[in-house]
Structure 1
Amino acid sequence: MTPHQVLAVAALGGFAAIVSLLVFAFLAVAVYAAVARLFEIREARREQHRDLKTCRAIHALGTFDRQGPK
């Protein structure tokens, strides 16, 4: 191989390495964002479930009006 060919192969290898590292970093950030979003959704559902349980407990207590308990 001539020195120009060696240089071209080395440049292509370096370019491929940089591109693959960028793709890997992008995928890592995307996976992290997806997992973080899943945890946020999970926590929101837990909070909603707690609120629903509280509302049901308050509703089960019954209410009083002027004539007495319902």
Structure 2
Amino acid sequence: MSSKHGKYVYIAIDKDLYAKVRVFKKKDPKSADAYAFYGVFVKKPPRKAVVLSSSDLPEEVLNKIKSYLSSI
């Protein structure tokens, strides 16, 4: 199952840890406003899902994901 209409992407955090992130297509992809993180982590993303590396994200979004991980 892929993400509905490309609204979600998965960010590779670790070898077996991916964060599900909502992408707003009308916003600039280099901006932190284009991504919304809801606190969903998976061990294996869907087969057809788009997987990005953590270096492809703006620094603010990556910091938000890492701070959420450290609070768990």
> Structure 2-normalised TM-score?
0.23
Of structures 1 and 2, the larger Rg is shown by 1
Structure with a larger share of its residues in helix = 1
